[in-house]
A = this chain, B = another copy of it.
Amino acid sequence: MNGAESLVHTLLGSGVETCFANPGTSEMHFVAALDRVPGMHCVLGLFEGVVTGAADGYGRMAGKPAATLLHCGPGLANGLSNLHNARRAQVPIVNCVGDQATYHRPLDAPLTADAEGWARGVSGWVRTSRRAAEVGADAAVAVQAARAGHGQIATLILPSDTCWDEGGQVAAALPVAPAPAVAPFAVEAAARVLRSGEPTILLLGNAALLAGPVADAFRIAAATGARVSAGMFNSRIARGRGRHAIGRVPYPVEAALAYLAGVKHAILVGATAPVGFFAYPGKPSTLLPADAQVHVLARPDQDAAAALAALAEALAAPPVAAPMHEAAAPATGAISPEAFARSLSALLPEQAIVADESITFGRSLFPSTHGAAPHDWLQVMGGSIGGGMPLATGAALGAPGRRVVNLEADGSAMYTIQALWTQAREKLDVTTVVLANRKYAILLHELANVGANPGRVALDMLDIGRPDLDFVHLARAMGVEAARAETMEEFNDLFAAANRRPGPFLIELATG
């Protein structure tokens, strides 16, 4: 058995059954091993950003890591930005990267690069295998590392000779350490704050945003008068009809300050204290009032769900039913953010997964869709643009049988548009809605935010409508059926039809 075969066996034995791949020469033995070891579902991406972004989406929905397979050096570099997003989302990924053979690397052939250096910024764990006999053991530790706590990226770098040499040894799955429990005093301290009656907000982060902990947070809120909110960007929020309507800290600084005004205590539950996404001249960087006290119930790496349950118990908070939202009728007429939100609310399929990279046009979508059918809402977590389409691709593979709805701004769509091809190839149930306003609209806002006064040259840098991008033909050229909607009626018909048919579909929504 060679090293590559021991790798595949060990990954499978450790529960890693999906591999997103864009391999090159140095990874050919891994590819060959996939033939000889059945059981791994291999998904090809045409660009490494598709591979890593899909691993992010898969991990969020499957609750366990996928493996990646990236080409040495620059192949990893191309995948870094979506790994950055996945790191912020605390997603488990076993990030396998090829490398030059151990004895070839010192010769500095053209592709040779500092893979470990590049990987460190996104990885909780990095190791380069030294010989075939160690690959299996390294892979088992990589899976263990990826699954530690809520999840992190474990990068395993595999020189090509460690894959082709004989002597590979399959390693048994290692025990996985769950997210550590919070200390009882943290629960007691939070309970004291909540009993004080002072204005308090519970800020929920990644692991606290599944249906159970959100319900517990709303029990606590009902019993104490506290508010509940998610952070600005979140890995996965369970929401929709029958669930509590949890808000998010808004992105614009002024709106965030208003949202948090008057708060005297912020209790962090798997979240971090809210800060501006960017700094702006003359605006504050931190968003809580200056006199607010910050209390940590659960750090992001801790078991926030159990902490919330314990806190609800400590407060003897009775269960509360979620408010019933009226089911909306789809909007008609002209396209607007409000009309789109209404149609989305009305037409979102049961148990849909929304992959949201809707940026400017989409800012009102989240607050206006609490009444949609029950669904999960995923955001690009690290702010690295272009994560949305790969995220949707991976989410579809991580949760088969559920429809993925990808809300995608046109500028963002063009970063990793190749994801559509993988959706076609894998026949994934993804409906992509490209919000085509033909500009980097967010940057027009941001120019004003930083106090700049744009002229012709600046405006030109934010205009992607010269030439126009035709997303319908881009999609078709990669095997995805597509159509353009210029009215809400057209959108409603296309969206309903797209969600009923198997496989991917793209709707270009003319928003500008």
A interface, CB within 8 angstroms of B: 21, 23-26, 28-29, 31-32, 34-36, 40, 42, 44, 46-47, 49, 71, 73-75, 77-78, 80-81, 84-85, 88, 100-101, 103-104, 107-111, 113-114, 117-118, 120-121, 160-161, 164, 232-233, 272, 275-279, 281, 285-286, 381-386, 411, 414-415, 417-418, 421, 424-425, 442-443, 446-447, 449-458, 460-462, 464, 466-474, 476-479
Min distance, Cβ A33 to any Cβ of chain B, angstroms:
8
Bound Cα distance A384, B71 (Å): 9
Bound Cα distance A511, B464 (Å): 33
Complex contacts, A425 vs chain B, CB 8 Å: 466-467
Complex contacts, A40 vs chain B, CB 8 Å: 457
Contact B34 A461 (CB under 8 A): yes
Contact B278 A104 (CB under 8 A): yes
With most chain B CB atoms within 10 A of its CB, the pick from A103, A461, A478 is A461
Contact A285 to B107, CB < 8 A, known contacts A77-B81, A80-B77, A477-B469: yes
Q: Which residue of B lies closest to A85 (CB)?
A: B74
How many copies, total? Answer: 2
Bound Cα distance A114, B382 (Å): 13
Contact A100 B457 (CB under 8 A): no
Contact A34 to B458, CB < 8 A, known contacts A160-B450, A452-B29: yes
Complex contacts, A281 vs chain B, CB 8 Å: 161, 164
Bound Cα distance A120, B110 (Å): 17
Contact A35 B77 (CB under 8 A): no
Q: Which residue of B lies closest to A84 (CB)?
A: B74
Contact A47 B414 (CB under 8 A): yes
Contact A32 B453 (CB under 8 A): yes
Min distance, Cβ A299 to any Cβ of chain B, angstroms:
14
Contact B47 A109 (CB under 8 A): no
Contact B80 A457 (CB under 8 A): no
Contact A107 B477 (CB under 8 A): no
Cβ-defined partner of A476 (8 Å) among B285, B456, B466, B470: B470
Contact A88 B110 (CB under 8 A): yes
Q: Which residue of B lies closest to A473 (CB)?
A: B477
Bound Cα distance A28, B108 (Å): 38
Contact A25 B455 (CB under 8 A): no
Q: List 24 A-B contacts (CB under 8 A).
A: A23-B461, A28-B449, A31-B457, A32-B447, A32-B458, A42-B461, A46-B411, A73-B384, A74-B385, A77-B384, A78-B384, A88-B110, A104-B275, A104-B276, A110-B232, A110-B382, A113-B121, A414-B421, A417-B417, A468-B479, A470-B477, A470-B478, A473-B473, A473-B477
Contact A42 B457 (CB under 8 A): yes
Contact B286 A74 (CB under 8 A): no
Complex contacts, A285 vs chain B, CB 8 Å: 101, 103-104, 107
Complex contacts, A450 vs chain B, CB 8 Å: 25, 28-29, 32, 160, 164
Contact B458 A46 (CB under 8 A): no
Complex contacts, A411 vs chain B, CB 8 Å: 46
Cβ-defined partner of A74 (8 Å) among B382, B447, B457, B479: B382
Bound Cα distance A58, B109 (Å): 24
Min distance, Cβ A17 to any Cβ of chain B, angstroms:
14
Complex contacts, A80 vs chain B, CB 8 Å: 74, 77-78, 80, 118
Inter-chain pairs besides A25-B277, A75-B385, A477-B477, 18 sampled, C-beta below 8 Å: A24-B446, A28-B447, A31-B452, A32-B452, A34-B458, A47-B386, A73-B84, A74-B80, A74-B384, A100-B279, A104-B276, A104-B285, A107-B276, A108-B275, A118-B118, A160-B279, A161-B279, A469-B477
Contact A107 to B452, CB < 8 A, known contacts A117-B121, A476-B473: no
Q: Which residue of B lies closest to A471 (CB)?
A: B477
Min distance, Cβ A183 to any Cβ of chain B, angstroms:
24
Contact A286 to B107, CB < 8 A, known contacts A73-B84, A117-B121: yes
Contact A414 B46 (CB under 8 A): yes
Complex contacts, A455 vs chain B, CB 8 Å: 32, 35-36
Contact B47 A452 (CB under 8 A): no
Min distance, Cβ A447 to any Cβ of chain B, angstroms:
5
Q: Which residue of B lies closest to A102 (CB)?
A: B279
Min distance, Cβ A1 to any Cβ of chain B, angstroms:
14
Bound Cα distance A279, B98 (Å): 12
Cβ-defined partner of A474 (8 Å) among B278, B454, B474: B474
Q: Which residue of B lies closest to A49 (CB)?
A: B78
Complex contacts, A108 vs chain B, CB 8 Å: 272, 275
Contact B382 A35 (CB under 8 A): no
Bound Cα distance A311, B240 (Å): 78
Min distance, Cβ A156 to any Cβ of chain B, angstroms:
19
Min distance, Cβ A294 to any Cβ of chain B, angstroms:
13
